[in-house]
Each structure stands twice: as structure tokens, then as C-alpha cells.
Structure 1
Amino acid sequence: MTARMRWLEAFAVSGFVIALGSASAVAQKKYDVGVTDSEIKIGNVMPYSGPGSAYAAIGKTEAAYFKMINDQGGINGRKINFISYDDSYNPPKTVEQVRRLAESDEVYVLFNIVGTAGNSAVQKYLNQKKIPHIFISSGAARFDDPEQYPWSMAWWPGFKNEARIYAKFIQEHYPSKTIGILYQNDDSGRDYLAGFHEAFGPDASKKIRLELPYELTSPTVDSQVVQIKAARVDIFINLGTPKFAAQAIKKIADLGWKPIQFLSNAAASTASTTNAAGVDASRDIISAVYLKDAADPQWKDDEAVKEFRAFMSKYYPDGDQENGTTVFGYGAAKAFVQVLGQCGDNLTRDNIMKQMSSLDLKIDVYFPGIRIKTSPTDYSPIDQLQMVKFDGQRFEPFGSIIDSK
């Protein structure tokens, strides 16, 4: 072989190695809309105003958490650009803001939109466009339907499953008691009712004497509480969001009525519900939870809660550290960052859904024993709950963790 031939061969080999290296580098980095080498663009809609404004703290906590992550260098070197708009808890406004995020801002994913009605209004649109619609703040059954809606996944316990837990408890401990239910007039409320009816079976019509809805635009639920009391039921099941749940508890106390009370997981917070309703009025209320309550003295020395408080003090000092909504936002953001980290340099929309549908992890601000699990056929991440009773200071846990499935 001549010197020239050897040189050409060496050049060809080196060129092949360089090409292979370049191809490998390209293969290692796969991006979809909203992602670059330096940025991951995340879209969010939150009720910063309107009847659901108690949940605004979720979005503010998440924005603060992502700022902390960015200060620490981001996720695999990429900073999070968190774009969050107000929808006033109004579904038509949710649609408008989601279209803006998808079509104008061109975000990578829609993360943690709050509210069943708003999420329902945008679900079909986001699935048609194949935009991940994840960490949804709702437990409605329609967000655990991977066959019909493969791009939508909730981050709350299923409403039907939660209702089944309460029904099972009532059958065990209060088999002869009658029930009145206050529920929100949307998919969330209807899912809760379906869960109770399925659990009680043929006895449902005898056990449940009255079911009354309220609208998100209603000023109060006082009239519904009065009607349920007039039905002479033994058990009052309160499925309202924190604002309406607190109103109902307070009205029950004002009426001098003393039913056995159950409170939905979404409203089981000392700061946003029981303190607002009145501690004495809230005593002995039963619920089922998965989040640690930062206002609960039992978690005072818990490392995860201490870490949460340190984060809040530095990054969201105006936030209420004892409000369950801030703990929820913190936990959801923490889990989301973990999922994004798992994606590595393959930040395609297909890959994040692959990661979301194969979860098996723990979040340290969730009750010990609660594990997040999903599969391609199971889009319900949180299926375990802890029964609790409010003792005047805290929601005291009793019994063991219950798997709702």
C-alpha cells in the first residue's frame, strides 16, 4: 500500500469515526417543540382569581420551585421556563389560555392545570394535538382513560375510588345511618356520586336520602345545607372545594346540627378549611389523605417538611407554609422535575408520556407508605389514602393505608 493510499484510508476511517460521533451526539439529543439545549418551556393554567382562587397558591409554589431548580443549574443543564396564565376557574377561559400556550407560546407540555371542568374542556384538543396534558389537578375518571385519551394523566386520587373508601368505612362503622351529599355540579361531583352508588349497590337509594349540587358561581351553599338537614340524615358528606366546604361546616354549626361529617380529600386542610370554618365546628370530621399536613404538629421534626419549609422561606416567603395547597404544589413540582430528569436528552413528547406511564416512586411530602405507580393501562398515579379524623388541632391518622382499588 502506498503512502498516499494509507493516508486516504486513515482519512476515511477518521471521517467515519467523526461522522459516527456526530450521529451519536444527534441520536442522544431528541427534542420536540418547546425544548432546546438551554430551555424547557412548560405551560400552566391556574385560577389566580375567581371562585377557585384558593388554589392560586399551587401555581405560585410551583413557579418558586422551578426557580429554585433553575438556580441549581436546571434539569440536565436546561432551565425551566414556566408560563402560567389565569383562567379564573372558568372553562371557556381555560380553553383560551391553553390554546395560547399551545399555539403562540409553543410549550412542550401542559402541567398541572387545576380544576375538573377546565381540564375536561381542553382534554380533546390537547389529545388531538398530541400535547402531554399531565399532573392534572383532578381525580375525574376521564383522566384515567389511556385508551381514549393517551396524552392526559391526573395527579389526584380518583374521585370514584375515594368515594368507595368512604362508603366502605360507612358500611363497616355506620351500617344503619342515612346520608346526605353536597357535591360540585361537574364531572368531579358526578364521579363521587357514581363511586358511592357503585359501593352501596342496591342499598344506595335507601342509604342516600338527598344529593344536592352547587355551582362554582354560587355565593354560598347555605341553602343546600339547610335542605340536607331537613331530610333528617345522619351523615353529611361534604364534597366541596375548600371555600364551599368551609361554608358548609360553618353553616352546620350555626344550625346546631351534629351529623357525622365526611370531608373530601381536596378540602382536608387545617389552614384552608377547618380554620376557616372554625376549629370547634370542624371537630371529628373524617377524611382520607395522602399529603402530609405541614400545619400538623406530628410533622414538626419530619425532614421532608423541614426541607419544604426551608424552600418556602427562601423562594416563596409570602406563601402560607401551613396551607395544603402549597404542599400539594411543592410535591407535584418535585415529582415533575424527577420525571423530566428521567427523560435525559430525549425530551420528546412521546418519551415524557412513556416516563409518566411507567412511574414507581415516592414523594417525601406524601404520607409514609404512599407510592406513585402507573402503567400504560393505568393512568391513576395515587391510589392509596390514609383515613384521618380532625381532633381540633390536626387530622389525626387512624388505621392503615388503604388501597382504593
Structure 2
Amino acid sequence: MQLLKRTLLASAFIALALPAFAQQGGPKKYGPGVTDTEIKIGQTMSYSGAAATYGTFGRVMVAYFKELNDKGGINGRKINLMSVDDGFSPPKTVEMTRKLVESDNVLFMCCSMGTGPNASVQKYLNDRKVPQVFVLSGATRFTDAKTAPWTMSFSPTYIDEGREAARYILRTKPNAKIALLYANDDSGKDTAIGFKEGLGADKVKMIVSEQTYEVTDATIDSQIRQAKASGADAFFDSTAAKFTAQAIRIAHDIGWQRLHVTTNNSSSIAQVLQPAGFDKSQGLVAGKFIKEPTDKQWDNDPRMKAWRDWMTKNYPEGLKTDWWNVYGYMVAETLANVIRTAGNDLTRENIMKIALSMNYDSPYLLPGLKIQTSPTVRSAVNKLRYYRFQGDQWMMIKE
């Protein structure tokens, strides 16, 4: 009962913070997939394949809407979240998205995983004016209002993340020799662009090793060894989770002493640091925007307590040490309130309008950060705070 009270209070708070053009009692205006009792929503998720570790995000969302439906849904309608596995494979994403849109008639696509998969269907969805909201990628192509007016993302862009990482290194190690490693794809290239912008034209020469990897590679052993051989004493590691774990482990094993900065996406204790080994992960630094579940300063935080209770009840196999599970819950809650705000105007146009008009403080974001969007600001969160891994937990760095 206490958890239910907390959830209802939080939902009421967020609903008040969303735009005031909800039409709760107005005439019914329905788009595809909407009836008096149901709203169909589509999602492609990497439950298998190279990015399967991120599938926990989708499982949290499915569990969230199941519980919400058990309590009556939203405005009397059940939310049918059709979350399907694309194996992080763009051709499979195209196939599954077409089915969701053309056969299942979903109202919109939401919270789908990955740069490549989302890019493969971006034009298709925009040509048909199907909202592609809260994309789980920081690639800037998903925040371009001119080329993709029906697309928006949730997390900080990769350019923002790269820029902030460079500034952190400059603040803490101003004479660093830097090794840079990123994926040979849109997301990696965006991060590298932002990193170089953050250094500034006069300091780009601090990069003594710049390398890429393919997401299909088995290992990045050679890249890490080359980075050490370059003489670098700082490392910006913009790799996917399994490669970040490899980078931590290999760098430690070959005795590379360096300031190691990684990205928010690859900061999971369960998916990265435990596989790498806590002893080898000490001192790792990462930019974050969500309250880290292992950070003891949040042990008595009411909303984090409520989230842990919710996990125990609704997703017991999920790890309470994995920030991706906090992220999934926060995004699901935000999406639910977009739908709630839409009231009876459940059209694709209105969903997009509301999603691009948010301005509130989520209780799951780090202090000082907000969820804030507009027709020109198309990523819900735009800033980061830096953490260092110590012992068995992430601890916020006081700068």
C-alpha cells in the first residue's frame, strides 16, 4: 500500500509538470491502435544478440505497464506495449517495425534500442508520420527537427557526452596524453566529434592514440595494447558494455596506468564492472544522469526505496545494482504520463506535441538535472555528473 501511495503521488507530480493541454474530458480523437479500452505501442529491443545486456531495460518497461494495467491502465485504457526482439540487427529491426506499424497498427514507436537499429527505420517512420519517441541512442540524427520531425531521444547526445568527458579530463589532468577509442559507427563518430570539440582546437594534439573498433569484433585487445604503447596516461573509452569490460581487464593485466573515463551506457556494475572484476575497475570514471543505485547517498531516498520495492515485487530477477533498471522505470513512468496527459486526444500528432513539451524534475535524475524538451530541444536530458568507482560502488565526484 505504501508503494502504491508513493507511485500515485509521483505520477500526480509528473502529470502536473507536463503541458496543460490534456483533453481529459474532450471529444475522443483516436489514432491507429487506440480504442476505448486499449492503446497499442511498439518497441524493438535487444533481448538477444550483441547488445543483449541492455534488454533488461525493455523487461522493466514491460513489467511497469503490466502492473499499471493491473491497476486499471491509463484513463481506463490498457497499455499494450508490444516489445519485440530485434537482436540488435537493423534488418530485423526493419522487419519487426514494419509489422508493428502495418499489421499491429501501433499508435507510435517508443524507447527502441540502439543507433543502428533506430537509424534503419527512422526515414520509414518519419515518412509515415509515426512518432519515434524516446529513442535509446544519443546519436544526433535522432534530435534533428528538420530531417526527422517525428523522432526524439531521451538521454544526452553522444556529442554532449564526448564534450563533457573531454572537459572532465582537462579539469583533472590538464597535461594528459590521451588515448581515444570508439565504435566505427554513427554513435562512436558522434562521441569522437564531441570529445574533440570539448578539448578545443588548440588541445586536440593531446590525443596521441585514436582508434576505432567494429561492434562485431570479438575483442579489442590489440587496440588497448596500442593505446598503452602510445604513452597515453588518460583514456576516453567510448565502447559498448562488453568491450568496456574487456578494456578494463586488459588494461589492468598489462599494467597500463591511466585515468580511465567511460560513458554512461557502459557504467553498469552488473554488466561491466563485475565481469571485468572489481579489483581491476577501481578508479574508473563515468558521466551519469540517473541516481546510481549503488551510491549509498540514495539509500534513504524515498523514490529509490520505492523503486527497490517495485523491483522486488514486479521484476525480482532484475538486478537492483544495475542503473539500466532505474532508467527503464523512469522512462516508462515518463511515457505513462505523456499518455495520461493526452487524455482522449490519442493521435500521433498530440503524442508528439506532448513529448516535445516536457519540463519537470524527475525524482530519478541527479540533483540539478531536468527532463526538458521543446520542438528544438529533442533529447529529454542534456547534462551529466561525474562518478568514480570505489570499492563496490559508484561515488559522485565533488568538483
TM-score (normalizing by structure 1): 0.90
8 Å CA contact 1:225, 1:252 repeated in 2: yes
Q: Structure 1 residues 264 and 138, CA, compared in 2 at 3 Å: closer, same or farther? A: same
Aligned residues of 2:139 and 2:158 also touching (Cα < 8 A): yes
Aligned to 1:358: 357
Question: CA separation in 2, counterparts of 1:26 and 1:171?
Answer: 54
The residue number in structure 1 matching 2:126 is 127
Q: Distance in 1 between matches of 2:347 and 2:203?
A: 47
Query: 1:254 corresponds to which residue?
Result: 253
Q: Structure 2 counterpart of 1:68, which letter? A: E
Structure 2 residue identity aligned to 1:76: N
* CA distance, structure 1, for counterparts of residue 201 and residue 239 of structure 2: 26
Alpha-carbon displacement from aligned partner over 1:205-247 (angstroms, at most 9, x marks no partner): 4111222222221112112111111111111111112211111
Residue 384 of structure 1: aligned partner: 383
1:20-53 CA-to-partner distances (Å, cap 9, x unmatched) read: xxxx999521110011110010101011111100
Q: What does 1:207-286 correspond to in 2, within 5 Å?
A: 207-286=206-285
CA RMSD between the two structures: 1.6
Secondary structure in 1 aligned to 2:106?
coil
Letter in 2 for 1:283: Q
Report the CA distance between 1:173 and its aligned residue: 2.5
Q: For the Cα contact (< 8 Å) 2:24–2:344, is it kept in 1?
A: no
Structure 2, unpaired ranges of 5+: 1-22
Q: For 1:209, what is the secondary structure of its paired residue?
A: strand
Q: Which 4+ stretches in 1 moved above 4 angstroms?
A: 24-27
Residue in structure 2 matched with residue 403 of structure 1 by the alignment: none
Written as runs of structure 1 = structure 2, the 5 A alignment for 1:30-45 is: 30-45=29-44
SS in 2 for 1:384: coil
In structure 1, distance between residues paired with 2:234 and 2:204: 15
- Structure 1: state its 5+ residue gaps: 1-23, 401-405
Q: CA deviation at 1:255?
A: 0.7
Letter in 1 for 2:122: Q
Whether 2:157 is the aligned partner of 1:158: answer yes
Q: Equivalent residue for 2:9?
A: none
- Provide, for residues 136-184 of structure 1, a one-character-per-residue CA deviation record: whole Å limited to 9, x for no partner: 1011111111122111000111111111111112222222111111212
Change (3 A) 1:200 1:78: same
2:223 partner SS: helix
Q: C-alpha displacement at 1:200, in angstroms? A: 2.2
**Greater relative CO (CA pairs within 8 A, separation 6+):** 2
TM-superposed CA distance for 1:372, in Å, is 0.5
Give the whole-Å Cα distance in 2 for the aligned partners of 1:27 and 1:284.
Answer: 55
Contact 2:28 2:345 in 1 (8 A): yes
Pairing 1:38-77 to 2, within 5 Å after superposition: 38-77=37-76
Distance 1:222 1:133 in 2: 37
The answer (yes or no) to whether the contact 1:61–1:329 under 8 Å persists in 2 is yes
Kept after mapping to 1: 8 A contact 2:178/2:207 = yes
The one-letter amino acid of 1:77's match is: G
Tell me if structure 1 keeps the 8 A contact 2:30–2:345: yes
The residue correspondences of 1:132-211 to structure 2 (distance < 5 A) are 132-211=131-210
| Cα separation, 2, equivalents of 1:323 and 1:346 | 36
Task: Name the counterpart of 1:326.
Answer: 325
* Pairwise CA distance, 1:398: 2.2
Q: Give the letter aligned to residue 314 of structure 1.
A: K
Query: What amino acid does structure 2 have at the position aligned with 1:294?
Result: P
> In the alignment, is the contact (CA less than 8 A) between 1:32 and 1:349 conserved in 2?
yes
What amino acid does structure 2 have at the position aligned with 1:263?
A: T
The AA in structure 2 aligned to 1:106 is: N
Task: Find the residue that maps to 1:37 and give its secondary structure.
Answer: coil
Rounded to whole Å, the distance in 2 between the matches of 1:350 and 1:99 is 20
Q: Do the aligned partners of residues 205 and 168 (structure 1) sit closer, same or farther apart at CA in structure 2, a change above 3 Å counting? A: closer
2:97 aligned with 1:88: no
Residue 20 of structure 2 aligns with which residue? Answer: none
Matching residue of 1:19: none
Q: Percent identity?
A: 42
- Written as runs of structure 1 = structure 2, the 5 A alignment for 1:5-44 is 28-44=27-43
**TM-score, normalising length: structure 2:** 0.91
Partner in structure 1 of residue 13 of structure 2: none
2: CA distance between counterparts of 1:396 and 1:320? 19
- Aligned to 1:28, what secondary structure does the other structure show? coil
| Paired residues of 1:39 and 1:78 also in contact (CA < 8 A) | yes
Deviations 1:46-95 (A, max 9, x none): 11111100011111110000001101110111001111111111111111
Inter-partner Cα distance in structure 2 for 1:296 and 1:199: 28
Please report how far the alpha carbon of residue 204 of structure 1 lies from its aligned counterpart in structure 2 after TM superposition.
Answer: 4.8
Larger Rg: 1
**Residues 95-126 of structure 1: per-residue CA shift (max 9 Å, x gap):** 11111111111101101111011111111110
Q: Which amino acid aligns with 2:231?
A: R
> Which secondary structure does the structure 2 equivalent of 1:335 belong to?
helix
CA distance in 2, matches of 1:172, 1:70: 48
Secondary structure of 2:200's counterpart equals: helix
Shift of 1:363: 2.1
State the distance in 2 between where 1:213 and 1:25 align. 51
Partner of 1:84: helix, strand, or coil? strand
Counterparts of 2:359 and 2:136, CA distance in 1: 19
